[in-house]
């Protein structure tokens, strides 16, 4: 495995939903050895044992981790299973663990298990690689207290040291030479002391490779130190894995920056320390009250498709990323598992990414090729509206792939990039521009670099030119002014059921994150009237018997489902009023909804009419 492949398995921090099973709990690193011992008990039948890697290999009592990373020897498993390659062996390992009654999930070289231990569940990630006895030491770190760096940053430093000397570092194999094409050639060593001498000089030892700090300390020449650190830290991969603290307050782990307003009752507002439950529910009430009487503070949610990220990197080089390629790059992954590049340097990269990813239905191959080429052909149009620095996120509203059409009956330009259809009077200022343009894109976010936090690009409309219209933030013109009786009723209900709601979201042994469960349910069934009646059937079919029993028997379940439904009902009143008119001469059919940033907490909420608008599944 090469360094770039390491990032295929970089997980999100716990507060972003990195764990696979909602019932898996964070654990004090003081019990890491106990969890490893329990894992070995399940593996005893295949005569192998685990090696701790990552932070749990050098545990800090009192420090919390979201999962236990371990490594097992692939060669031993191949002998036990009688298999001939790694892929088949890992499949057999997963089957074996399932036969022991464990829940599992296989991703890449890792088999994840949900480990029961002392009436709780913990996620263990079992990585099967060759020569684990030596290789696992590559993943032992000695990171100083208070360091901003992680083990993966150390691996990038080692990669920079190797690359600068014509070598190649593989975190799961060892040190290699490179051939004249820069590819992996002769194997050099998997002994840490030998590797240290090769990378840092004849007086170095394996412990010098324990952290970013120890590596820098072992390089006596300041210019060389700066060179290596700059080489390692200048890429998007370094920024994409910047450390994020893991705290119990982060649960539940679900949610996005733009949160459904009714979801706040079971997600909370972690960025402001507002826990899920009645307190967050009252914040949702306050936000809905404000949305019902403000006008220009509510944004129209443009339903553009596909979503593109375009702009210039720190060297001024232009890139245009389809959404999935951007998501790979945010994680520091420069290639997919099948080898397709996610770094978009030219139009051909865009076309090859589209063709090399996703699932093409039989008979749709020609349409897929046409779409890939058509999207790649938009490269010069996006380059013409690029900011000088950073990247803009936006959805295409119309383009040569799907042009705007003049409706002779209404004298409006119509375009439907996704589900919402937009209607713009041809004689309006915007309509006149549409008549002359090739493309229109709604700019929704701005990032100073890949992996940066989302902000707004100031006056994005000024990036427009004759061929391309950049539509910036569009605000509603008038307040919704809905009847407040329903909102007052929802507020009274939440206050009266405070204890039950708070007890439910607090979790229980074996189900520590019930908010994650509700989030999954609502994403699968949408936030519409009467949906709570479907929860019991869904829980019985999707959760384990133990989980289903715990969540369905909790007295707070009905209270929180009712609270969500009451909030959804009041949200729909606001949407109905706002969608009945036009906003800056823009009329919509099946509008997606609206976005509002709460000034008190900074939380973005979205109000989506999911009865009439829901994300396409294709």
Any idea which residue has 């770190």 for tokens? 141
Indicate whether 613 belongs to any domain.
Answer: no
User: How confident is the model over 478-525, as pLDDT tens digits?
Assistant: 778 888 899 999 999 999 999 999 999 998 887 888 888 898 888 777
Tokens of 523: 């994403």
Return d(Cα 336, Cα 329) in angstroms, integer: 10
Instruction: Check whether residue 284 and residue 208 sit in a common domain.
Output: no
Query: Three-state SS for 382?
Result: helix
Domain boundary pick from 139, 170, 205: 139
CB atoms within 10 A of CB 245: 10
Indicate whether 145 belongs to any domain.
Answer: no
Contact 455, 447 (CB under 8 A): yes
Return d(Cα 482, Cα 577) in angstroms, integer: 8
Note the pLDDT of residue 2: 45
Q: Which long-range contacts (CB under 8 A, 24 or more apart) does 363-372 make?
A: 371/401
Any idea which residue has 């790649």 for tokens? 376
Return d(Cα 523, Cα 527) in angstroms, integer: 8
Instruction: Check whether residue 361 and residue 432 sit in a common domain.
Output: yes
Instruction: Check whether residue 316 and residue 464 sit in a common domain.
Output: yes
Tokens of 441: 């894109």
Binned at pLDDT 50, 70 and 90, residue 254 comes out as very low
pLDDT average, residue stretch 540-554: 88
Q: Give the structural domain span for 131.
A: 3-139
- In a 13 Å sphere around the CA of 217, the CA atoms on its Cβ side amount to 11
Instruction: Check whether residue 465 and residue 319 sit in a common domain.
Output: yes
For 482, left (φ over 0), alpha (ψ -120 to 50), or beta?
beta
Full DSSP string of 178-238: E-TTS-EEEEEE--HHHHHHHHH-TT--GGGGSSHHHHHHT---HHHHHHHHHHHHSSHHH
Q: Which helix (H) or strand (E) holds 380?
A: helix 379-384
Instruction: Return the CATH number at 7.
Output: 3.30.460.10
User: How confident is the model over 321-379, as pLDDT tens digits?
Assistant: 999 999 989 888 888 877 788 999 999 999 999 998 877 778 888 999 999 999 999 99
CB atoms within 10 A of CB 188: 17
Indicate whether 618 belongs to any domain.
Answer: no
Instruction: Check whether residue 313 and residue 459 sit in a common domain.
Output: yes
Instruction: Check whether residue 292 and residue 263 sit in a common domain.
Output: yes
Residues across the chain: 618
Indicate whether 614 belongs to any domain.
Answer: no
Query: Three-state SS for 530?
Result: coil
Which of 414, 419, 442, 379 lies closest to 618 in space, CA to CA?
Answer: 419
Note the pLDDT of residue 10: 41
% of the chain beyond a pLDDT of 90: 50
Indicate whether 39 belongs to any domain.
Answer: yes
pTM: 0.54
Which of 77, 102, 140 lies closest to 20 in space, CA to CA?
Answer: 102
CB atoms within 10 A of CB 33: 12
Strands of the 468-471 sheet, one edge to the other: 318-322, 307-312, 390-398, 439-447, 468-471
Beta strands in 499-615 (DSSP E): 587-589, 593-597, 604-608
Domain boundary pick from 115, 139, 163: 139
Instruction: Check whether residue 314 and residue 296 sit in a common domain.
Output: no
Tokens of 451: 């992996």
Instruction: Check whether residue 357 and residue 497 sit in a common domain.
Output: no
User: How confident is the model over 25-80, as pLDDT tens digits?
Assistant: 889 888 999 999 999 999 999 989 999 998 888 888 888 888 999 999 999 999 99
Q: Which helix (H) or strand (E) holds 286?
A: helix 278-291
Instruction: Check whether residue 265 and residue 386 sit in a common domain.
Output: no
- What is the total count of domains within the chain? 4
Instruction: Check whether residue 328 and residue 436 sit in a common domain.
Output: yes
Domain boundary pick from 422, 441, 471: 471
User: How confident is the model over 187-196, as pLDDT tens digits?
Assistant: 999 999 999 9
Instruction: Check whether residue 314 and residue 460 sit in a common domain.
Output: yes
Instruction: Check whether residue 205 and residue 295 sit in a common domain.
Output: no
Sorted by sequence, the CB contacts under 8 Å of residue 617 that are 6+ apart come out as none
């Amino acid at each position: 495995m090469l360094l770039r492949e390491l990032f295929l398995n970089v997980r999100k921090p716990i507060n972003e939903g990195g764990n696979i099973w909602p019932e898996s709990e964070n654990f004090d690193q003081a019990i890491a050895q106990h969890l490893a011992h329990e894992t070995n008990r399940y593996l005893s039948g295949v005569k192998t044992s685990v090696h701790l890697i990552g932070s749990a290999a050098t545990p800090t009592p009192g420090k919390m981790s979201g999962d236990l990373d371990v490594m097992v020897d692939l060669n031993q498993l191949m002998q036990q299973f009688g298999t001939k390659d790694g892929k088949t062996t890992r499949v057999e390992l997963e089957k074996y663990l399932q036969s022991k009654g464990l829940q599992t999930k296989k991703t890449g070289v890792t088999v994840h298990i949900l480990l029961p231990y002392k009436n709780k569940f913990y996620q263990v990630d079992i990585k099967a690689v060759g020569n684990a006895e030596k290789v696992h030491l590559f993943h032992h770190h000695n990171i100083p207290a208070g360091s901003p760096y992680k083990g993966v940053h150390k691996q990038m430093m080692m990669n920079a040291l190797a690359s600068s000397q014509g070598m190649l570092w593989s975190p799961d194999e060892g040190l290699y030479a490179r051939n004249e094409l820069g590819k992996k050639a002769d194997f050099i060593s998997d002994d840490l002391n030998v590797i240290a001498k090769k990378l840092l000089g004849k007086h170095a030892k394996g412990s010098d490779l324990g952290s970013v700090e120890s590596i820098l300390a072992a390089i006596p020449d300041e210019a060389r130190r700066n060179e290596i650190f700059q080489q390692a830290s200048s890429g998007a991969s370094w920024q994409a894995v910047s450390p994020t603290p893991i705290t119990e307050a982060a649960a539940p782990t679900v949610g996005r920056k733009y949160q459904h307003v009714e979801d706040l009752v079971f997600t909370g507002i972690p960025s402001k320390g507002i826990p899920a439950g009645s307190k967050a529910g009252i914040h949702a009430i306050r936000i809905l009250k404000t949305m019902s009487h403000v006008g220009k503070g509510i944004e129209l949610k443009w339903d553009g498709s596909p979503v593109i990220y375009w702009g210039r990197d720190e060297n001024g080089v232009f890139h245009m990323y389809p959404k999935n390629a951007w998501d790979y790059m945010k994680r520091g992954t420069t290639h997919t598992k099948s080898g397709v590049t996610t770094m978009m340097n030219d139009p051909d990269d865009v076309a090859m990414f589209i063709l090399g990813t996703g699932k093409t239905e039989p008979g749709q191959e020609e349409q897929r090729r046409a779409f890939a080429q058509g999207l790649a052909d938009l490269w010069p149009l996006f380059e013409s509206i690029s900011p000088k620095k950073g990247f803009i996120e936006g959805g295409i509203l119309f383009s040569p792939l799907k042009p705007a059409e003049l409706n002779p009956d209404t004298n409006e330009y119509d375009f439907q990039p996704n589900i919402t259809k937009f209607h713009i009077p041809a004689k309006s200022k915007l309509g006149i521009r549409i008549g002359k343009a090739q493309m229109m894109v709604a700019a929704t976010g701005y990032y100073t670099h890949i992996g940066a936090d989302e902000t707004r690009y100031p006056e994005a409309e000024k990036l427009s030119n004759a061929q391309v219209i950049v539509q910036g933030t569009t605000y509603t013109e008038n307040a919704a002014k809905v009847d407040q009786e329903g909102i007052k009723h929802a507020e009274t209900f939440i206050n009266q059921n405070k204890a039950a709601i708070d007890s439910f979201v607090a979790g229980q042994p074996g189900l520590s994150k019930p908010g994650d469960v509700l989030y999954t349910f609502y994403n699968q069934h949408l936030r519409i009237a009467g949906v709570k009646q479907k929860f019991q059937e869904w829980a019985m079919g999707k959760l384990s018997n133990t989980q289903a029993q715990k969540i369905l028997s909790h007295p707070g379940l009905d209270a929180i489902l009712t609270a969500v439904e009451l909030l959804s009902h009041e949200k729909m009143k606001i949407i109905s009023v706002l969608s009945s008119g036009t906003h800056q001469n823009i009329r919509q059919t099946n509008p997606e909804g609206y976005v509002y940033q709460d000034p008190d907490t900074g939380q973005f909420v979205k109000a989506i009419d999911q009865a009439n608008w829901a994300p396409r599944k294709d």
